[in-house]
Structure 1
Amino acid sequence: MYHEPIFLEPVFQERIWGGEKLKEKYGYPIPSKQTGEAWVISAHPNGPSQIKNGPLKGKTLAEAWEDYGKLFNKDTDNKEEYPLLVKLLDANANLSVQVHPDDTYAREVEGVPYGKTECWYVVSAEPDAELIIGHHATSRDELQQMMQSGEWDALLKRVPVQAGDFVHVPSGTIHAIGSGIVILETQQSSDITYRVYDYDRTDAAGNKRDLHLEKAAQVTTVPDNRAALIEHAEDKQGDLSIKRLVEDPYFTVEHWKLNGATENKLEVDFLQVSVLEGKGDIIVEGKTFNLEKGMHFILPHTVKDYRFDGELELVVSWV
């Protein structure tokens, strides 16, 4: 079927903390001035991406996964859902402090197939921008006590960030994206969140958003001793520089920077690609497809060899 990339349309999500940077940076037709998320590679029922090209044009990624499993090297008996979700987030204001459960808790308590481990590549950050990653509690009792009494400054770990930083956020990690940051998020295909703190904000009707302190305390990893930011070695392969950002049980994510041309073989079931900056081409079986920033696509299993050409900054991921 497909011997070409599968290009996808983003699905926009309005959020109380959203802004207009997704339009300013990528030219996306955002629905409002509070657009917080573009789900750019998604088969999740809350926002499935639509295919833009080829024989499945107009179908969703979820439909392709369900009905054309060979594109993903999926066994026909595999009833699991598409495993990954890629988003661009514009934090015009602070996101709520939250935590996600692991797969076991998500299935047993919420009845959904996946918990949520995620990771963030910082696309841009204003001066003094920071993330919340982790906490200072030494026991679960102390964590619950500090949550209930609202000791947020003492509890939460804050980390300054700049463009190019990368953060791995396993399930059980308390976290929040601070204002002035745009990130590319790669995560398990899950929309399950336990909100810990929301700065006492209210919506247009004057209502505060719900908190989920009991479940949050149950799923949070205690103690939290991991480093937030890690330096990554760069591997130079001709005109292509590659940084392996993370490799965990759910996904592998790399940052590619190309200045020239590179020949590649598809050695995984399928490859997800997001173009963060630049212009160039991808050539598959002699056919050229133009690339520019803001494009997102999947190289299906039916593609064996491909070539990038141009000046491109990419984030690629696979299971």
Structure 2
Amino acid sequence: MRPLRLPPHQLHRFYAGGPAIAELRGIPSTDDHAPEDWVGSTTTLFGEERLGLSTLDDGRLLRDAIAADPEGFLGPEHTARHGPDPVLLVKLLDAGERLPVHCHPDRDFARRHLDCPYGKTEAWVVIDTAGADPAVHLGFTRDVDPGQLAGWVASQATDALLAALHRVPVAAGDAVLVPAGLPHAIGEGVLIVELQEPTDLSVLLEWEDYEVDGTTDGHLGLGFDVALRCVDRSGWGRERLERLRPGRGGNGPVRNLLPPEADPFFRAQRLSARDGVELAPGFSILVVVTGSGTLSWDGGTIDVARGDTLLVPHAAGTVHVRGDVEAIRARPPDAGQAGG
């Protein structure tokens, strides 16, 4: 089985963005509200049966291709634990405007209220920024009373919400783990590779001035009385927050990007292939962020360049990346790990 090139897969959403993804990929920008490219997706948008699923060059849905040969794509250990499910969604996300403040439920909440085995812990790998002072907003600076939070949401008190969150400057190369429940907003001009659990579950705390009606579409059909219970209202100190972005793994050719707390959900590595990188067999999504080079396996070699996205199946065996290439490698959790 050979690695597969994944075509562009931008989706229209309620917030602005998309041109930076088009520039990265070297394609025309046709929609200024297509800020997410779902890369190698077997996940649908919330409430949809098909929208969000990736289609391969031969016309098959990736979901169906994996279901037909799960061990070939995912490996026998992963398949034994998770079945024909990659347990991973990878996106390119271009924040053409600051995203609204929102959060995502954890697995326990999703199981109890949404009959879904996954929550939406996620991580951001920043690959580019625009503007003078790019930043993300993450976690409350102090404990927030449930009544106060509900009041902010009901009145759309955007200034109060933002003032209650940490503002964290970011630059290309940064990586941040965002545990489920943590309120957050990605700032304008930030382009990321996002790794996440395979759902589209979001609770909006803010929606005024966005192309969405949060009163009907912001609470996952649960009503805010229930939905707001998934929000982490605890205060996060700076030291605790910094543990979400430690930059593991040094400066070698393969650098682990996320803290150990991410491992039960997904794994992310930065590959610097100037001297060649060897990757052991295993399902992964590669996003080439700079340069050009080659990717080779026992059955052949293909050229790769900035903006390419590729799926490397387990059955491709050991692969080598060579050339003046930097890439982000997104991987599912180790087959022996299980998220909370």
Partner of residue 181, structure 2:
172
Structure showing the higher strand proportion among its residues: 1
The secondary structure found in structure 2 opposite 1:163 is coil
The residue number in structure 2 matching 1:11 is 9
Q: Corresponding residue for 1:227?
A: 241
For residue 322 of structure 2, what is the aligned residue in structure 1? 309
Number of the residue aligned with 1:23: 22
- 2:268 is matched with 253
Deviation at 1:115, TM superposition (A): 1.0
- Structure 2 matches for 1:91-106, cutoff 5 A? 91-106=95-110
**Preserved CA contact (<8 Å) 1:132 1:175:** yes
Q: Deviations over 1:37-65 (max 9, x none)?
A: 1111211133111223xxxx321211122
1:277-303 Cα distance to aligned partner (Å, 9 max, x none): 110001111511111111122221212
SS in structure 2 at match of 1:197: coil
Letter in 2 for 1:193: S
Equivalence map 1:64-103=2 (5 Å) = 64-71=65-72, 72-73=74-75, 74-75=78-79, 79=83, 81-103=85-107
Determine if the alignment matches structure 1 residue 278 to structure 2 residue 291. yes
Instruction: Indicate if the aligned counterparts of 2:18 and 2:36 stay in contact, CA closer than 8 A.
Output: no
Letter paired with 1:201: D
Given that 1:256 and 1:316 are in contact with CA atoms closer than 8 Å, whether structure 2 keeps it comes out as yes
Greater CA deviation, 83-92 or 106-115?
A: 106-115
Deviating more after overlay: 170-179 vs 298-307: 298-307
Shift of 1:241: 4.5
Q: CA deviation at 1:189?
A: 0.8
The structure carrying a bigger helix percent of its residues is: 2
Structure 1 residues 189 and 10: alpha-carbon distance in aligned structure 2, compared to 1, 3 A threshold: farther
Q: Give, as a single letter, the amino acid of the residue that structure 1 aligns with 2:327.
A: L
SS of corresponding position for 1:59: coil
- The 1-side partners of 2:83 and 2:274 are apart by 41
2:209 paired residue number:
201
Residue 246 of structure 1 deviates from its aligned partner by 3.7
Whichever residue aligns with residue 9 of structure 1, its letter is P
Deviation, 1:145, is 4.8
Give the Cα–Cα distance (whole angstroms) in 1 for the partners of residues 257 and 177 of structure 2: 12
Q: Which moved more, 1:20-29 or 1:90-99?
A: 20-29
User: Alignment partner of 2:111: what SS?
Assistant: helix
By how many angstroms is 1:87 displaced?
Answer: 0.6
Amino acid at match of 2:193: L
Q: Across the two proteins, how many residue pairs are aligned to each other?
A: 305
| RMSD between aligned residues | 2.4
**Aligned equivalents of 2:69, 2:29: Cα separation in 1:** 30
Q: Deviations over 1:250-303 (max 9, x none)?
A: 11111122213233322x4x1221111110001111511111111122221212
* TM superposition shift of 1:177: 0.8
What are the Cα deviations for residues 208-237 of structure 1, in whole angstroms up to 9, with x where unaligned? 443434344301123142315633244455
Cα distance in 1 between the residues matched to 2:197 and 2:232: 18
- Alignment CA distance shift 1:65-1:174 (3 Å): same
TM-score by length of 2: 0.81
Which residue matches 2:56? Answer: 51
